[in-house]
Amino acid sequence: MAEFYGTEVASRLMLGTAQYPSPAILEQAFRRSGAGIATVSVRREAGGERAGGAFWDLVRQLGVKVLPNTAGCHSVREAVTTAHMARELFDTKWIKLEVIGHADTLQPDPFGLVEAARILTDDGFEVFPYTTEDVVLGERLLEAGCKVLMPWGAPIGTGLGLTNIYGLRTLRAQFPDIPMVVDAGLGLPSQAAMAMEMGFDAVLLNTAVAKAGDPAAMAEGFALGVKAGRLAFEADPMEPRDMAAPSTPLIGKAFLT
C-alpha cells in the first residue's frame, strides 16, 4: 500500500482523465488499470464544452479517489483560484499543483510553485506539487508544507521516459521518507517499472494510455509494469558488478547453505 497524506491507496498507478477517444474507453482503461487515483484538470474541463456535470459525474462513477489538478495554470493566482474550485467541486483537500513556467517545455515555474504551495498548504490543502528532479526545489517545497513530491520523468506529453535517471535517484535518496510519485513523460510500461524499481512510491501518467491504439490494454500494461517494478524494489535486487561470475560455481553443490 502507498500512503499519501495519511490515505492508503492499494494501487501505485495514478491515471489522468484527458484525451481519451470516448467516455467508454476512459472507463475501460480505468477498470483494466486498477488505478486507485484519477487526476482531473479542473480548469480545462470546466472551461470546455464538457463543462456542466456529465464529465464530473463520469469521474465520480469511476469509484477512485480524485486528485484534481491545476493543469494549464501559468501563474500563482490562477493555480490558487483553480485549487479552490477543485475543493468545492470534489470536496477534497488534495490538489496536484501545476504552475507552468515555460510554454514549450511545460517546465514548472519553481518560484511560482513554491509560492502557490505555501499559500495552499496554509489554507489547509494537501498539495501534490508537479516539480522537476531538482533537490533544492524539492527541499523548498517540503519547507512550504508539501508532504509529497511529484518529480517529472520527462516533459508532459513526450513519452520520453526517465530522462534524468541520476537526478531522480538523487532526489529519491535525499528524502527517503517522503512519498514520491514520478509524474509525466512516461511512454511505456518498462519506464514505469524502472521508476518503481528506483523506489518511487507510484507513477502518474495520462498521454501514453489515452493516446495508445488500445488505451485499455495499455492501461493494463502499465499496471503490470508498476507491479513488477515495486516487487523488484521490495525484493532487494542484486548489486550489478563488472566482473563475470559463474552462476553455477561449485560442482556438486546446488545451494549456498
Q: Interface with ligand DXP includes 205 (CB under 6 A)?
A: yes
Q: Which three cell numbers stand for residue 244?
A: 563475470
Closest-CA residue to 20 (of 213, 240, 159, 173): 213
One DSSP character per residue, 1-61 reads -EEETTEEES-SEEEE-SS-S-HHHHHHHHHHHT-SEEEEEHHHHHHSTTTTTHHHHHHHH
Residue 157 labelled as part of a binding site: yes
Q: Which is nearer to ligand DXP, 19 or 143 (CB)?
A: 19
Q: Interface with ligand DXP includes 207 (CB under 6 A)?
A: yes
Instruction: Give the list of residues 6+ apart from residue 185 with CB closer than 8 angstroms, or none.
Output: 152, 153, 154, 155, 156, 157, 158, 159, 160, 161, 162, 163
DSSP 3-state assignment of 183? strand
Q: Please state the closest distance from residue 242 (CB atom) to ligand DXP, in A.
A: 35
Instruction: Give the list of residues 6+ apart from residue 58 with CB closer than 8 angstroms, or none.
Output: 23, 26, 27
Q: Which is nearer to ligand DXP, 97 or 243 (CB)?
A: 97
Q: Interface with ligand DXP includes 165 (CB under 6 A)?
A: no
CB atoms within 10 A of CB 39: 26
Pick the binder of ligand DXP from 184, 192, 198, 226 (CB under 6 A). Answer: 184
Residue 161 labelled as part of a binding site: no
Residue 16 labelled as part of a binding site: no
Q: Please state the closest distance from residue 21 (CB atom) to ligand DXP, in A.
A: 15
Q: Interface with ligand DXP includes 196 (CB under 6 A)?
A: no
Residue in 65, 93, 96, 253 annotated catalytic: 96
Amino acid in position 227: K
Q: Which is nearer to ligand DXP, 2 or 106 (CB)?
A: 106
Q: Interface with ligand DXP includes 70 (CB under 6 A)?
A: no
* Residue 96 is among the residues annotated as catalytic for this protein: yes
Q: Interface with ligand DXP includes 132 (CB under 6 A)?
A: no
Q: Which three cell numbers stand for residue 208?
A: 501514453
Instruction: Determine contact, residues 17/39, Cβ cutoff 8 Å.
Output: yes
Q: Which is nearer to ligand DXP, 28 or 131 (CB)?
A: 131
Pick the binder of ligand DXP from 37, 206, 218, 229 (CB under 6 A). Answer: 206
Active site residues per annotation:
96
Footprint of ligand DXP on this chain (CB under 6 A)? 16, 18, 39, 69, 71, 96, 130, 156-157, 183-186, 204-208
